[in-house]
């Protein structure tokens, strides 16, 4: 492309495009974006990617250590796992599992497993991988099993759905509250602003854990997991909106003084046009950045709540609930693989933070 063509392209580039060009230069942020996209893809196709029914318990296969898939055997490429043989330790009476080299179970793609609903569209029982044949207790346990014999890998995959969506739902609710209340606060000022700001200060001065504990304890035991899920979302975003409201209010206040907003006012533009055509687009990118930094906070909140037993309750599956199983030191000593549920939490939180930083830097092409 010639220099002038490049210049023309730059001259006619929208702010969105300029932001994107800047964002692309942030390696870490782009990688993070890909990681997050992958996570949400996993969440969307969780049941398809899961191998075993995440809810199916079986006392005969509790605490199976992680298994590996062997890709080759003497005949060449032939992915397989070995069947397991439970051996009871004569001193501790613990049941330990060892691979049985005589029982080779072939691993196949698109096998039939438990029945689920794909994307809420249709029922199917096709899974990405599975084994052919074998006994009822056989299976692929990539990350081992828990006390009740549930496959940790499948549970983690399915947990992604709840943990990532509770963040989204929480942030969406926070955003709604934040934009409305922050906008009103910043646009109208006066006593409305004072009132909203005091409410925010009061809310923020309450220590979060006791507040959550109180609210979570107030949830009726009889509620279904779905109801609890929504209640928890509301509880978390009750605090979350204050941050966003402050961002929105600050932007409105500074934009109100901006010359181009005054110019629109002098042109006779209506209040609505000034807000939606001039002010909102000017800080949409800041809001996106704020959201991408608020999301991990939501995810951590859910994880922390569930870990403490205040959030979601079994049979719901979330990362927090998986980690709750890893609370007991005794259990951990026997089955350290249960701690692997912390890995996706850390990965997602870091990725969101890097993404947020990258977006924030890119949002202001002149900054």
Decide whether 154 or 285 has the Cβ nearer to other proteins.
285
Decide whether 72 or 188 has the Cβ nearer to other proteins.
188
**Complete edge-to-edge strand list for the sheet that includes strand 70-73:** 70-73, 76-88, 95-118, 122-131
Residue from 5, 11, 119, 121 binding other proteins (CB under 8 A): 11
- The reply on whether position 10 binds other proteins by CB under 8 A is yes
- The reply on whether position 222 binds other proteins by CB under 8 A is no
Taking the C-alpha atoms of residue 64 and residue 52, their distance in angstroms, rounded to an integer, is: 14
Q: Which stretch binds other proteins (CB under 8 A): 68-76, 83-91, 272-280, 296-304?
A: 272-280
Taking the C-alpha atoms of residue 221 and residue 293, their distance in angstroms, rounded to an integer, is: 33
Decide whether 110 or 276 has the Cβ nearer to other proteins.
276
Q: Which stretch binds other proteins (CB under 8 A): 7-15, 48-56, 61-69, 125-133?
A: 7-15
Decide whether 74 or 257 has the Cβ nearer to other proteins.
257
Would strands 95-118 and 76-88 be described as parallel, antiparallel, or unpaired? Answer: antiparallel
For the chain, the C-alpha Rg in angstroms (whole number) is: 26
Taking the C-alpha atoms of residue 367 and residue 365, their distance in angstroms, rounded to an integer, is: 6
Q: How many residues bind to other proteins according to rule CB under 8 A?
A: 28
Report which of 76, 67, 85 is spatially closest to residue 131, judged by C-alpha positions.
67
Taking the C-alpha atoms of residue 81 and residue 139, their distance in angstroms, rounded to an integer, is: 8
- The reply on whether position 269 binds other proteins by CB under 8 A is yes
Decide whether 103 or 278 has the Cβ nearer to other proteins.
278
Q: How far is the CB of 286 from other proteins (least distance, A)?
A: 13
Binding residues for other proteins restricted to 99-158, rule: CB under 8 A: none
Phi, psi of 62 (to 5 degrees): -75, 150
Cα–Cα–Cα angle for 211, 160, 308, rounded to 5 degrees: 30
Decide whether 214 or 281 has the Cβ nearer to other proteins.
281
Residue from 206, 281, 328, 339 binding other proteins (CB under 8 A): 281
Taking the C-alpha atoms of residue 232 and residue 304, their distance in angstroms, rounded to an integer, is: 12
Binding mask 13-42 for other proteins (x = CB under 8 A): xxx--x------x-----------------
Phi, psi of 348 (to 5 degrees): -65, -40
| Alpha helix (H) residue ranges in 56-189 | 152-188
* Packing angle, helices 152-188 and 225-256, rounded to 10: 40
Binding residues for other proteins restricted to 229-268, rule: CB under 8 A: 258-260, 262-268
Q: For residue 329, what are its two tokens? A: 């030191």
Decide whether 25 or 108 has the Cβ nearer to other proteins.
25
Q: How far is the CB of 253 from other proteins (least distance, A)?
A: 15
What residues make contact with other proteins under the rule CB under 8 A? 7, 10-15, 18, 25, 258-260, 262-270, 273, 277-278, 281-282, 365-366
């Amino acid at each position: 492309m010639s220099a002038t063509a490049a210049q023309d392209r730059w001259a006619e580039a929208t702010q969105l495009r300029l932001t994107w060009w800047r964002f692309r230069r942030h390696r870490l942020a782009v990688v993070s974006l890909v990681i997050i996209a992958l996570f949400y893809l996993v969440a969307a196709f969780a049941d398809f990617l899961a191998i075993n029914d995440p809810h199916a318990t079986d006392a005969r296969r509790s605490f199976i250590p992680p298994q590996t898939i062997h890709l080759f055997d003497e005949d060449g490429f032939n992915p397989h796992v070995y069947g397991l043989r439970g051996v009871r330790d004569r001193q501790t009476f613990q049941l330990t599992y060892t691979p049985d080299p005589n029982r080779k179970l072939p691993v196949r793609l698109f096998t039939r497993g438990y029945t689920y609903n794909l994307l809420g569209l249709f029922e199917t029982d096709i899974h990405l991988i599975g084994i052919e044949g074998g006994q009822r207790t056989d299976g692929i346990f990539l990350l081992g099993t828990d006390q009740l014999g549930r496959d940790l890998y499948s549970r983690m995959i399915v947990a992604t759905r709840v943990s990532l969506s509770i963040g989204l739902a929480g942030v969406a609710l926070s955003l709604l509250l934040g934009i409305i209340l922050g906008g009103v606060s910043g646009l109208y000022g006066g006593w409305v602003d004072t009132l909203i700001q005091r409410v925010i200060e009061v809310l923020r001065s309450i220590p979060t854990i006791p507040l959550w504990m109180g609210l979570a304890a107030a949830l009726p035991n009889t509620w279904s997991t779905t109801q609890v899920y929504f209640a928890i979302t509301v509880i978390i975003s009750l605090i979350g909106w204050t941050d966003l409201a402050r961002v929105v209010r600050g932007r409105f206040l500074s934009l109100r003084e901006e010359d181009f907003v005054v110019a629109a006012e002098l042109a006779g533009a209506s209040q609505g046009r000034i807000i939606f055509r001039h002010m909102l687009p000017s800080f949409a990118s800041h809001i996106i950045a704020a959201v991408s930094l608020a999301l991990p906070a939501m995810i951590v909140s859910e994880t922390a709540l569930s870990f403490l037993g205040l959030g979601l309750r079994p049979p719901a599956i979330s990362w927090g609930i998986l980690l709750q199983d890893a609370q007991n030191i005794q259990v951990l000593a026997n089955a350290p693989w249960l701690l692997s549920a912390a890995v996706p939490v850390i990965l997602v939180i870091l990725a969101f933070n890097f993404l947020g930083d990258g977006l924030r830097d890119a949002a202001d092409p002149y900054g």
